[in-house]
Amino acid sequence: MEQMTHSARVGYAIAFVVGLIVLTIALLLWQHFGMDTVLELSVANGRQLGVTALDDRPQQGESVAKLTRSADALVLDCDLRPTFRLPYCGYQFSLSRDDKGIDLSKFDAISFDLDYQGPGKHLLRFFLHDFEPGRSTLQDFMSQKISEVHIFDFPRQGTVKIPVTLLRTAPWWIDIRNTPLLNNEMRIDNVTAVDLLIGAPETIGQHHVTLRSIKFHGKLIRQNNLLLILVAIWIVCALAWLANAVMRYRAQLRSTSSRLALLSQVNSALELETRELAGQVYFDSLTGALNREGLRDGLINKWQYKGSHSEPMAVLFIDLDHFKRVNDTHGHATGDEVLRTFAVSVQRDIRTTDKLVRWGGEEFLIICLGTDGVAAQGLAEKLRVAMQGQVWPGGLQMTASFGVTTLQAGEDIGEAIKRADGALYRAKASGRNCVQSA
């Protein structure tokens, strides 16, 4: 038995590790090829965010920007004039009206989908305004850290996608704010506004930009975070397996006595009372099934049960679903009839070598000699389905839950019954009227 148990544990360990490897590979592939998240700035949410047109007039320039909305785009018409040293027009998306912006640091790339018509090179300048608590104020918009990237020669039509790593803290902002060197790192974890500007001294004239969207692309879980999660899962599983192994080893050390005599084994496994009543019969008087004493006698004498048997043996643990309602609603007499009907039905559908035992109340055991796990589960399913066609007292509709296990070579029958009881508990927890195997 110990050898079989060790082999089974090794098999379970290998299956578990293989499953964990498959899960790890699946999550890594999903993170690489899927798990995408997108934040979109477009006409669809422009009104909600508050998109406005920008031009250089606040800096004493004379460029004029006009923003209109079509069904699917934000259209910017710009009369770019040379009065300001760096004339510009553009869009500004307001992401917040206070100091609580949007964390864009989880995104890896930015895409621009637009059409651009105008003289000269199509120069785009992109800015993110980040509110830094303790450094930025709501009263001074320029106190927010500005990160920028310049995109030259944008195509007349199409989409351009750039990595977020191209963003840098704007040098002119550093000069204006005179910030210390250690405070010049690029930050986009609390962005309150997004600007997209066009214009340069050599591009004076009329410009027409149709902006369909600005999208920020990222992953639901970044690769580094996913790797940390997977490492944590592996560590937790390894520690749990080690703890389980230590507990098994300590349990083996505590077991210093040899196996009990056969009669003591069976009595202990079946949790028989130590005081035997004189004249106790082997059959349940209500159902005609064996009782616990009959099971004990059969294991010891009639079925020639041996602690080192090699023939397979299956144990089916059965519980009639909601039997208490039958007694409470229809009375105990009807409940007794239900139990008798159930016992007769089962005895009809099992082999003569299979033994039906009333374990107590509405609980029954079936001991199947020479039966492996597959056959035992098939028998349980057959009995479960047969109950649906059975005629029950009072026109009742009865179902049952089944827990199934098989006795390992040399194993104590009591351990098998406990496993079957555990499987029965799972069957009832799963909604009843089903079969669970241990």
Q: Which residues are catalytic?
A: 362
DSSP states of 246-266 as a string? HHHHHHHHH--S-PPPHHHHH
H-state helical runs in 34-159: 43-49
In one-letter notation, the amino acid at residue 8 is A
> 115: helix, coil or strand?
strand
The two three-digit tokens of residue 185, written as one number: 């790192």
Helices (H) and strands (E) in the chain, counts: 10, 17
- Integer-rounded Cα radius of gyration of the chain: 39
CB 193 within 8 A of CB 130: no
Residue 281: count of CB within 10 angstroms of its CB: 11
**DSSP 8-state assignment for residue 141:** G
User: What is the phi-psi region of residue 322: left when phi exceeds 0, alpha when psi lies from -120 to 50, beta otherwise?
Assistant: left
Sequence-ordered list of residues with C-beta below 8 angstroms from that of 356, at least 6 positions apart, any chain = 289, 290, 343, 346, 347, 350, 364, 365, 366
Sequence-ordered list of residues with C-beta below 8 angstroms from that of 339, at least 6 positions apart, any chain = 286, 287, 320, 358, 362
**DSSP 8-state assignment for residue 299:** I
Sequence-ordered list of residues with C-beta below 8 angstroms from that of 86, at least 6 positions apart, any chain = 56, 199, 200, 201
The two three-digit tokens of residue 320, written as one number: 């009639």
**Alpha carbon separation from 243 to 153, 231, 254 (Å, rounded):** 63, 18, 17
Among residues 50, 193, 53, 45, the alpha carbon closest in space to that of 131 is found at 193
User: What is the phi-psi region of residue 116: left when phi exceeds 0, alpha when psi lies from -120 to 50, beta otherwise?
Assistant: beta
CB 320 within 8 A of CB 377: no
Among residues 150, 53, 133, the alpha carbon closest in space to that of 94 is found at 53
What is the spatial distance between Cα 345 and Cα 390, in angstroms, rounded to a whole number? 8
